[in-house]
């Protein structure tokens, strides 16, 4: 209709629901695209100020959240813990008994 996109009218008046259905992504929200774009921008290695400008934020908080998600630090930490737990289980299987502790002593 020539006016700005607003949350209240975008999902109802536009072809968004039809477009989401056409790609088998029912429930996809327009804001999800913004989040994905911000995540990819952070994953590119963009600096904090560049991310803030791209997102239109005055606060560093949101940009830091995206940088943290993009770094994947939590996944690497979890993978490392899983590796050590599995190594202990494998050792227990080879020894025929339970390990005294998972932490090195």
pTM: 0.51
Question: Residue 10 — very low, low, confident or very high, per pLDDT cuts 50/70/90?
Answer: low
Residue of 3, 9, 7, 28 whose CA lies nearest to 18: 28
Mean pLDDT throughout 47-71? 84
> Residue 37: is its pLDDT beyond 70?
yes
> Residue 83: is its pLDDT beyond 70?
yes
Mean pLDDT throughout 36-64? 86
pLDDT score recorded for residue 41: 87
For the chain, the domains span 15-95
Neighbour tally for 91: CB within 10 Å: 11
In order of 22, 23, 45, 57, 84, the CA distances from 15 in angstroms are: 10, 13, 34, 28, 50
Is 38 within 8 Å of 64 (Cβ atoms)? no
């Amino acid at each position: 209709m020539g006016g700005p996109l607003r949350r209240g009218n975008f999902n109802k008046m536009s072809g968004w629901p039809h477009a989401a259905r056409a790609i088998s992504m029912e429930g996809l929200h327009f804001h999800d695209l913004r989040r994905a774009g911000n995540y990819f921008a952070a994953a590119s290695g963009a600096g904090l100020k560049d991310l803030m400008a791209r997102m239109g934020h005055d606060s560093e908080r949101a940009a830091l959240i995206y940088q943290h998600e993009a770094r994947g630090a939590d996944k690497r930490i979890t993978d490392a813990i899983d590796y050590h737990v599995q190594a202990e289980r494998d050792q227990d299987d080879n020894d025929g008994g339970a390990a005294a502790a998972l932490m090195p002593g």
